[in-house]
Amino acid sequence: MLIGELAERTGTSRRLLRYYEEQGLLRSGRSPNGYRDYAESCVDRVLQVRGLLDAGLPTRIIKQILPCMDTPRATRISSATDETIATLERERDRMTDRIRCLERNRDAIADYVEAVRKAQDEARSQAVKPAEAAVLV
């Protein structure tokens, strides 16, 4: 697929897709006319990269862990420095804290929605309908 289709399908700008390619996070072939040609699997790869970036990981770390996400058993242990491992542990812990916060927020929203719906249902059941009001007069 061409870069425009990949951009549209992933909600990512063409410029960012080129940047991901420059950083080694994404690969493309070239068609005879020189246009980038992306495989279908690039859609998932771009979404993975965006998710990791949204989680706060820098591209240099993403580049190291992407191969592990494709084939977890093929982890390149020798390429992981102490600094990389420490960075990944900090990021993992930060993500865990963020997940806990998101879960609390989700639960609070769910409780609020449930309370509002319950109050609305009670108000509707106590409301006097027009036909009943005519009989009461």
3-state secondary structure the chain: CCHHHHHHHHCCCHHHHHHHHHCCCCCCEECCCCCEECCCHHHHHHHHHHHHHHCCCCHHHHHHHHHHHHCHHHCCHHHCCHHHHHHHHHHHHHHHHHHHHHHHHHHHHHHHHHHHHHHHHHHHHHCCCHHHHHHHC
pTM of the entire structure?
0.62
| pLDDT tens readout for residues 99-115 | 999 999 999 999 999 99
| pLDDT tens readout for residues 24-47 | 999 999 999 999 999 999 999 999
Residue 133's pLDDT is 52
